[in-house]
Structure 1
């Protein structure tokens, strides 16, 4: 069985096959403004549903990228040395000076006494429109091979050829989708993560058993919240609507 706890923003605790994995640690209180470079910034509007002290021992952190405060904040960065394994992007491992950095479709295996090996595969992600990578930096998603099937964490991405590869190459059981339709006044209508409508279309193609929205609330630069996602779902076929599951913040939920 897989249990997912949504802590806030992109941060989730995933418990599967005896492993305890944390994604994108963000534990700062609300109120601060974070710079993302190129004159772009955002204010954190909501704090985490649980603190690092509430989580208990962790086996690994899966970090989709290290250079944006809504995916790794000050408190999240401070907890990294206490976690046995860190898996992130190649650039992120270099900047942090630790961890396993994976290029798209590269793999690593988590191993520990008394637990089955857990294969982690980096999946392509693009954090904005075409040609935006020099500005937004390197990001990744993760496919986690579990005893019940593949759990996919999309990372901060828009739909592009790389997400098409995920659809073609993976049979996904549980999809954790980074949404929010991120945009900024400085760059107008350009989007840097999936909208609700894009997530619905992706799930129609991907056909996960369960789709879990995260990264849709708690920051001023998120512009597609739960209401926008549910509006998109209201026009989707029932077989797509029924795949989506909203998690109560802080509550461990079997999926």
Structure 2
């Protein structure tokens, strides 16, 4: 299973199709226009809708949910989708809130997705800090996901989750052989908290890629919301001045179009 089909639906929402598996990250399918609160006076307006309608998505085997408590990672339509999915993997606190089929992981904990006739997929939770030091009461628990299965040629398929660049994320370079990194970017900022950022910028992505050295680096979660302060043009500028191996690894996915990559 070396060829994987990936569809960037929009925001953090990404469909992964491989050897019979259909895995979806952070389902967000609400229409644009609404403003959502994120706690302690922070909020953001959704500017664009999903590039793939929920009705056209098809069946999903499992949802990998980096966190359940921010609407730009799980909105109302995404919550409705969860009721149709057999397996949901998320944070421990998120699993308690969601109940039912949700399974919670803490950083560096792993579980295995298995179905008859398909290769088993090991899901390892990776650390995230969705803001500056001491911001946990505001931002809550978040994790990323590293996916491994037999036959991968280049290494794990890693979704960073919503995080700033800090020691926990850097630790991934020492603990996981990453072949493809799906980078949650956008450099989130809110007027009420000034210059503080709550997710990685393009510059952070360059530094992380220098450490992790993925074969492919895919930016996501940089568009579609008013709280992104580091949108695609800024990320492109950061990558343009990056070392050659990083520049060569970057692959922008056309939103809504399925693209095959080799893992």
Same fold (TM over 0.5): yes
Aligned to 1:166: 172
- What secondary structure does 1:152 align onto? strand
Query: 2:109, 2:245 → 1: CA distance?
Result: 32
Gaps of 5+ in 2: none
Which residue, 48, 51, 59 being the options, matches 1:49?
A: 51
Residue 62 (1) aligns with residue 68 (2): no
TM-score normalised by the chain length of structure 1: 0.98
TM-score normalised by the chain length of structure 2: 0.95
Aligned to 1:186: 192
Aligned to 2:7: 5
Query: 2:113, 2:243 → 1: CA distance?
Result: 38
Aligned to 1:137: 140
Shift of 1:17: 2.9
Residue 206 (1) aligns with residue 209 (2): no
Shift of 1:16: 1.9
Aligned to 2:38: 36
Residue 77 (1) aligns with residue 83 (2): no
Query: 1:16, 1:228 → 2: CA distance?
Result: 32
Aligned to 1:116: 119
Residue 104 (1) aligns with residue 107 (2): yes
Q: How many residues align?
A: 255
Aligned to 2:156: 150
Aligned to 2:250: 244
Residue 220 (1) aligns with residue 226 (2): yes
Which residue, 3, 24, 28 being the options, matches 1:22?
A: 24
Query: 2:131, 2:253 → 1: CA distance?
Result: 26
Shift of 1:55: 1.4
Aligned to 2:201: 195
Gaps of 5+ in 1: none
Runs of 4+ in 1 over 3 A off after TM superposition: none
